[in-house]
């Protein structure tokens, strides 16, 4: 068969996270209009940012902007890099008790002198729209109503909206973080519309990683190393979800850096059936999930 025809048969489709998040945000905006029209309160998301990390500022700004787009109220609380753990826990307690705030997040990573676990556990699970609190992760595991962690929830939305068949497929995940890889393994395995996969969760101690990834019908990459996955690591026709986002120095860019995913896109994309780009893939969906969780919080369907 001529090469060009083979290529046509296997046309790769880009999964457009930016467009999907826009569509979902319009749906949320409609719901907000309905709520306020009926005299209800506008959903309100608060975000706490400690310090001046460049990437964190970008993400938090995009969350505030998304709130405006969907008609949410938003509050950004900025604290100095040297804020004490005690002070941050006070701010968390205030937000827990503030009836005007439906949900809030504390942007991670936090400065080294603050215990992230302690802060996460201090957040009222009913307001934990990040879905990081042990109570909410536990509920997820038990299929109880809860807030799903933002990035995994965004990925599920993408797979669902692109009608990607997951049932009975082999899903390989790279990275076992508490906020992406680990919850993703639970969601892909559970008995749900998107789910029913046979899941392999790989990590730094996995013996022959490429042997595992080559088996994947769906490959989810979340280890945070730019261009880690190369063409030889994937089989033809795989669905690839790239969660990584690393700033790499690039003098040709106005910002001085380029954003790179965990997948070497140019060489891997031609082998994929579906693939998420970076930027414009999973990132915008993460923000969108926060909006969905905040709407859920405001509607009183508490975790």
Ligand X SMILES: Nc1nc(=O)c2c([nH]1)NC[C@@H]1CN(c3ccc(C(=O)N[C@@H](CCC(=O)O)C(=O)O)cc3)C=[N+]21
State yes or no: is 107 an active-site residue: yes
Query: From the list 16, 124, 128, 130, which residue makes contact with ligand X (rule: CB under 6 A)?
Result: 130
Q: At what angle do helices 150-161 and 282-298 cross, to 10 degrees?
A: 110
State yes or no: is 296 an active-site residue: no
- Best CA proximity match to 49, nearest among 119, 152, 124: 119
CA angle 48, 73, 99 (to 5 degrees): 75
177 appears as a binding residue in the annotation: yes
176 appears as a binding residue in the annotation: yes
156 binds ligand X (CB under 6 A): no
205 appears as a binding residue in the annotation: no
CA angle 83, 86, 90 (to 5 degrees): 100
Secondary structure class of 101 (helix, strand, coil): coil
**Closer by beta carbon to ligand X, 92 or else 197:** 92
Segment interacting with ligand X (CB under 6 A) among 95-103, 181-189, 205-213, 281-289: 281-289
120 binds ligand X (CB under 6 A): no
**Closer by beta carbon to ligand X, 217 or else 274:** 274
CA distance 120 to 131: 10
CA distance 117 to 130: 14
| Helical spans, DSSP H, in the chain | 3-9, 17-37, 54-70, 85-97, 116-122, 134-141, 150-161, 181-189, 209-213, 265-268, 282-298
State yes or no: is 143 an active-site residue: no
62 appears as a binding residue in the annotation: no
In the range 227-256, which residues lie near ligand X by CB under 6 A? 245
CB 17 → ligand X: shortest distance, Å? 7
32 binds ligand X (CB under 6 A): no
CA distance 174 to 7: 28
Annotation: binding site? 175-177, 245
Question: Annotated catalytic sites, by residue?
Answer: 63, 107, 130
Q: Which residues bind ligand X (CB under 6 A)?
A: 58-59, 62, 105-108, 130, 150, 245, 259, 278-280, 283-284, 286-287
Could you tell me which residues are annotated as the binding site for NADP(+)? 175-177, 245
């Amino acid at each position: 068969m001529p090469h060009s025809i083979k290529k046509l048969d296997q046309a790769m489709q880009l999964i457009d996270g930016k467009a999907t998040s826009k569509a979902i945000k319009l749906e949320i905006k409609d719901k907000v209009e309905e709520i306020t029209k009926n005299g209800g309160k506008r959903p309100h998301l608060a975000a706490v940012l400690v310090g001046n990390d460049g990437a964190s500022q970008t993400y938090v700004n995009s969350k505030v902007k998304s709130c405006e787009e969907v008609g949410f109220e938003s509050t950004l609380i900025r604290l100095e890099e040297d804020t004490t753990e005690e002070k941050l826990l006070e701010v968390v307690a205030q937000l827990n008790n503030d009836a005007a705030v439906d949900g809030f997040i504390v942007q991670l990573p936090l400065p080294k002198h603050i215990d992230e676990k302690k802060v996460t556990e201090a957040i009222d699970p009913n307001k934990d729209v990040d879905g990081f609190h042990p109570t909410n992760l536990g509920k997820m595991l038990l299929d109880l109503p809860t807030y799903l962690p933002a990035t995994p929830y965004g990925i599920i939305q993408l797979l669902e909206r692109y009608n990607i068949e997951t049932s009975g497929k082999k899903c390989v995940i790279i990275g076992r973080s508490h906020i992406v890889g680990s919850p993703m393994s639970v969601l892909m395995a559970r008995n749900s519309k998107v789910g029913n996969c046979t899941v392999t969760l790989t990590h730094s101690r996995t013996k022959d990683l490429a042997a595992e990834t080559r088996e994947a019908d769906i490959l989810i990459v979340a280890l945070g190393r730019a261009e880690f996955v190369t063409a030889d690591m994937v089989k033809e026709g795989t669905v690839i979800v790239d969660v990584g986002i690393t700033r790499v120095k690039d003098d040709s860019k106005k910002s001085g850096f380029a954003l790179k995913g965990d997948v070497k896109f140019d060489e891997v994309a031609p082998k994929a059936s579906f693939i998420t780009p970076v930027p414009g893939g999973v990132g915008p969906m993460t923000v969108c999930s926060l909006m969905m969780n905040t709407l859920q919080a405001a509607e009183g369907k508490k975790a």
